[in-house]
Amino acid sequence: MTDSSPITAFLEQFLSRHRRIVLAVFLCAFGLLALKLRFIQDDAFISFTYARSLVQGEGLAWSGTHVEGYTNFLWVLWVASGIKLGIDPVLWSYLSGIAALLCTIYGLYRLAYFLFRSRFHAFIALLLFGSNYTVLSFSTGGLETMLQTALICWSALILCENAFDKELTLKYSIITGVLFALAFLARMDSVLPLSVLFVFAAARSHRKGHSMAGFLWIAAVCVVVASLWMLWRYSYYGQFLPNTYYAKVSGPAYSNGMRFIGRFLHWYLFWPFIGLGGVMLAIRKHSLPHLLQLSIVILVAWCAYIVYIGGDFMEFRYFVPVAPFLVLVVVYCVWHGIGGYLFKRPRG
């Protein structure tokens, strides 16, 4: 894409020439901001307790009782590995969360460049993501939030770069399958955005006449890992879903979920940009890129999920896993919706 603005053209050229240095500056700045905003929340100590019980030989139990009071199996194992190494779980969670944040930022940079084919737009997306208070705050906190975000973001990146416009190879099929499985183990609700991603990429690949073998490998890896884990959980805890799930959705309040979404969009003033940009794109009958279509479907599905479970009490933590897709939509609506309508930017 090209832009008629000489300032934007200059920035594009500068960022293309010095992208590694600028990216390093962004990573350092956002990492330090996340470190400054670090905190630990009460729920983190549930994971820490299970992890410590595992290291002490008591298994994944709560004070000797086999009840699944956590929803982040992979994170509990990761915290246990830190405890096993003699590292305080709070410090270990800080370091791990910030490392996951940096991985997400780099993945988002490549994902944004894949969408916009512009370094300038990619760095705008990074600035919007990395400066978000909720994203930075929940990079720590002691929970799996940023690990889940990184795994979902990189799953999307691998499929976009290797399956959207070419046939998916066995190598990247296995990598994607492993990322999918890890995201599911990190938090079971990852299945929602990953399912949308899988179906969308498979349908696009099929329309292009590519072999479906790669997607069958992804499905095989996920099914094997998920089946083994679910069978273990049932034999260990006597149920397929965590105890916390039954407590949370026994009587979901859909209105609370809707208010949760509304507060988030209003707090960060996303709604006017998405709304106005969307209207402008519709008026111009603008054809949306496939990655943007995918991002929109993931966001809609995730918002429906938030409504179903009745929102959450932890600020806006539930939006962090899909925040990379949200910033792609916001940047596109602002630049090609509002900006494209007002300034009639030529595109090439």
**Residue 179 near residue 158, CB atoms below 8 Å:** yes
pLDDT (0 to 100) of residue 250: 53
pLDDT (0 to 100) of residue 2: 44
Q: What type of residue sits at position 285?
A: K
Q: Which of 3-7, 50-54, 119-123 has the lowest mean pLDDT?
A: 3-7
CA angle 18, 23, 29 (to 5 degrees): 130
Q: In the predicted model, what is the mean pLDDT of residues 44-56?
A: 95
pLDDT (0 to 100) of residue 241: 75
pLDDT at 147 over 70: yes
Q: In the predicted model, what is the mean pLDDT of residues 230-251?
A: 75
**Residue 115 near residue 289, CB atoms below 8 Å:** yes
Q: In the predicted model, what is the mean pLDDT of residues 218-231?
A: 95
pLDDT (0 to 100) of residue 347: 46
The pTM (predicted TM-score) of the whole model is 0.92
pLDDT (0 to 100) of residue 77: 97
Going by pLDDT thresholds of 50, 70 and 90, the confidence category of residue 93 is very high
pLDDT tens-digit map of 7-16: 788 888 898 8
